[in-house]
Structure 1
């Protein structure tokens, strides 16, 4: 469990302290954007692999589960994972100025469409929903540490990215942020945007459902745990 705690702490540290503060600006200025992104990406992958192995080693080793999975929570988890993939996949395949090296998308007059009408951080909110769903059915200490950390990173990561973009882009970012929302569907509820499934792309929606179905079926083969009842 100590190894998992250490890996989780380092993973959060490099994202919140290194990438999420003005330290990122200082390092990028000294190293160059390309070198900084390359080193940060490498560090993230290495620590993520460490986190995965640490979780596998810690799961079931220390402490009793605080709660278990019921049929009801299992069904809720399936729905949450579908919603998560519907945020993650379209979010990854849609031009978005909050994504790495996509700030130039703000120059497009039609940049706010599809998933960006729902939230300017679709990928991170998808990760948050994914993590919350796994917490719902996994109450053992190792899962609480791993999925809890991912939930915290995703939710607070949205605010961190907003702050970085505001520092870098100023009024251009403020205009974009005023027309969109961080919280999913908040801009639509406030009347600043409208929901348009067609703009998201029916192929993205269909692909997301297909990916969810495959991952659900293959879950016991990939992760050793059944996702289906």
Structure 2
């Protein structure tokens, strides 16, 4: 348990209390953007590996009590949530986005806001949040609460952290972009500041998201030892 908790604390800390704060700015001022990015990527992968190891270890420990079990209906809900998550994650990763690492120059383009950015300026993180929440629906043991709960909180708070970081760095340019988009999915569209355009997203991106969802659902027992399909 302690190993998993420590891994979760480390992973959250490097993202919310280093990457999203003025501490990051100070480190970059000392060592430069390139070395900082390299070190942060290494720390992130190390943190993910630690989380995976800690989770696998914790699931076999006696403290890992089960708070709830699920039936077929919950698994169906989980499948739908995972599809929504992949339709945010995959097209989000394949779209130019000034909230992504070293893509701030996108704001210089006249067509900076299009496709997924009309829905949310943080498609990847909202996809991760939905992915984590879906796993909490069907995994009621303590180890899953720590793993998926920490990733859910990190994804949600990470959107605000990135917004604050970009505002510090880009000032009025960021303010103009943020005023035309929304953090919460579809909020800008519902408010009339944007319109949904599936064609701008790109059908190939949408198809790739569906393929990723189907592959993960089918391959889940082979990759993780647990069936995802009811």
Count the aligned residue pairs: 229
The aligned counterpart of 1:169 is 170
Does the 8 Å contact 1:60/1:142 carry over to 2? no
Alignment of 1:169-208 (within 5 A): 169-208=170-209
The aligned counterpart of 1:222 is 223
Does the 8 Å contact 2:64/2:142 carry over to 1? yes
Does the 8 Å contact 2:64/2:141 carry over to 1? yes
Give the TM-score normalised by structure 2. Answer: 0.98
User: Aligned with 1:164: secondary structure?
Assistant: helix
CA distance in 2, matches of 1:29, 1:218: 44
**Which 5+ residue runs of structure 2 have no aligned equivalent?**
none
| Shift, 1:72, TM fit | 1.1
The aligned counterpart of 1:19 is 19
The aligned counterpart of 2:39 is 39
The aligned counterpart of 1:97 is 98
Does the 8 Å contact 2:10/2:47 carry over to 1? yes
Offset from partner CA, 1:44-94 (integer Å, 9 cap, x none): 111110110110110142232111121111000000000000000000010
| Shift, 1:101, TM fit | 0.0
CA distance in 1, matches of 2:95, 2:24: 25
**Which 5+ residue runs of structure 1 have no aligned equivalent?**
none
Alignment of 1:31-110 (within 5 A): 31-61=31-61, 62-110=63-111
The aligned counterpart of 1:140 is 141
Does the 8 Å contact 1:219/1:225 carry over to 2? yes
CA distance in 2, matches of 1:77, 1:184: 19
Give the TM-score normalised by structure 1. Answer: 0.99
Q: 1:157 to 1:139 in 2, by over 3 A?
A: same
Does the 8 Å contact 1:68/1:139 carry over to 2? yes
CA distance in 2, matches of 1:41, 1:219: 26
